[in-house]
Amino acid sequence: MLQQRLSRLLEAMKSEKLDLVALLPGPNLRYLTGLSFHMMERPIVGLFPLDAQPHFVLPQLEADKARTAAMDSEIITYGEDLASRSEAFKRASDILDMNARCVGMELLRMRAFELQLLQEAAPRANIISGDAALAGLRVIKDQQELESMRRAVDIAQQALIATLPLVKLGMTERELASELVVQLLRAGSDPTLAFDPIVASGPNSALPHATPTDRRLQAKDALLIDWGARSEGYVSDLTRTFALSEPDPILVSIHALVLQANAASLRKARPGITCAEVDLAGRQVIADGGYGEAFIHRTGHGIGLEAHEHPYISSQNTQLLSPGMTFTIEPGIYLPGRCGVRIEDDVVAIEQGCESLSDMPRELKVIA
């Protein structure tokens, strides 16, 4: 499996005229090698050339982990002194003749720290963005990946179901978020969650990326919860919106619209349809309901080893959906100072259309 993934990368590199790709710890490196490192003050770089096996430059303390990779590779290590670090990068540059190479890097992940080390080791290398070669690498999920994502969705749903009975008027958003984190871990999530959960009540629910605060839950509040789990590295990303005590009539109205928009985009999504068409299907429902300007973000984004990855379900993306693509459908309406609603599901494009991996009820539920 790893060899097939590496072969796809090499083909993409040829197409983009890249001689070598430099990857930092993160989803792409894990996808290609099965190795999970974390970013730290000791640099770790995976170098993937067209004409040689992969090379790793990393600290001595990570060498044994690197050797567990199920692939042939060369490992170049350094010690705690800064001089040995620079020497290791220079040695890798000389072995791979990086000065004569076009080197692709991850635009959103490469730090100035590692970039400087690469530039010092290979000052004549042409270091450019490698995102065009990397963008499609992980976009089609295999069955093993899909099983991990299904588990991540199941874990997330179990965790919220266990959390909802704990919701009480007067508790803070922060307290509720902490309960949800505990339940995610108890349900089996990897210790590194998909992302920090959003728990937003009342006017805070109108902020799409709200952070839990010390605001206390009040009667008639909207309560928006955006949460996810991680299983074997793969994530889930879900959102449900609830009403506390007697619901505000405007919350009932806009929730019904968002629910219709969610269903419309889900019906539209299938292989051969563009991401833009999926976005438009739900967006039109909200616009026809008179709240078009209150839907202020794209309809969804890809998910997998990252909470946000390709494909992006936006009005600007003409990419065609293909079987095995996984993404969110998450229309929303946000009324500043009053309330917001988002309903988000994780889905996979299949030959017959689109399957929702999440099945937690989407209807407006009154709790507390």
Check whether residue 86 and residue 200 sit in a common domain: no
Each residue of 104-128: pLDDT tens digit?
A: 999 999 999 999 999 999 999 999 9
Q: Indicate whether 322 and 203 sit together in one domain.
A: yes
For the chain, give the mean pLDDT: 97
Q: Could you tell me if 185 and 128 lie in one domain?
A: no
Q: In this predicted structure, what is the pLDDT of residue 304?
A: 98
Residues 124 and 148 in one domain: no
pLDDT digits (tens, 9 = 90+) for 73-102: 999 999 999 999 999 999 999 999 999 999
Task: Give the mean model confidence (pLDDT) for residues 325-354.
Answer: 97
- Number of separate domains in the chain: 2
* Residues 21-31, mean pLDDT to the nearest whole number: 97
Section 3-10 average pLDDT: 95
Looking at 134, 151, 176, which one is the last position of a domain? 134
Which CATH number do you get for residue 8? 3.40.350.10
On whether both 287 and 337 belong to a single domain, the answer is yes
The pLDDT value recorded for residue 70 is: 83
Question: Does an H or E element contain 47, and which?
Answer: strand 45-49
C-beta separation of 258 from 299 below 8 A? no
In this prediction, residue 229 carries a pLDDT of 98
With H, G, I as helix, E, B as strand and everything else as coil, classify residue 302.
strand
Of the three residues 134, 151, 166, the one that is the final residue of a domain is 134
Per-residue pLDDT tens for 233-255? 999 999 999 999 989 999 999 99
> Once rounded to an integer, what is the mean pLDDT over residues 179-206?
98
Residues ≥6 apart with Cβ < 8 Å to 200? 173, 207, 210, 212, 223, 224, 225, 340
Q: In terms of domains, do 153 and 256 share one?
A: yes
- Structural domain span for residue 317: 143-367
| Co-location of 158 and 31 in the same domain | no
| 82 CB burial (10 A radius; 0-12, 13-18, 19+) | exposed
CA 358 – CA 218 distance, rounded (Å): 28
d(CA 340, CA 127) in angstroms, rounded, equals 44
CB 42 within 8 A of CB 24: no
48 band by pLDDT with thresholds 50, 70 and 90: very high
pLDDT of 1 reads 84
Q: Angle 275-288/249-268 helices, nearest 10 degrees?
A: 150
Q: Are both 120 and 167 inside the same structural domain?
A: no
Q: Assess whether 99 and 58 both reside in one domain.
A: yes
Assess whether 302 and 343 both reside in one domain.
Answer: yes
CA distance readout (Å), 320 to 85, 272, 273 = 44, 5, 5
The answer to whether residues 154 and 254 belong to one domain is yes
Beta bridge partners of 198: 226
Residue 243, domain CATH: 3.90.230.10
Count Cβ atoms below 10 Å from residue 210 Cβ, excluding itself. 19
Mean local confidence (pLDDT), 269-289: 98
Are 107 and 155 within one domain?
Answer: no
At 150-176, the pLDDT tens digits run: 999 999 999 999 999 999 999 999 999
Domain endpoint, select from 105, 134, 163: 134
Give the model's pLDDT for residue 71: 86
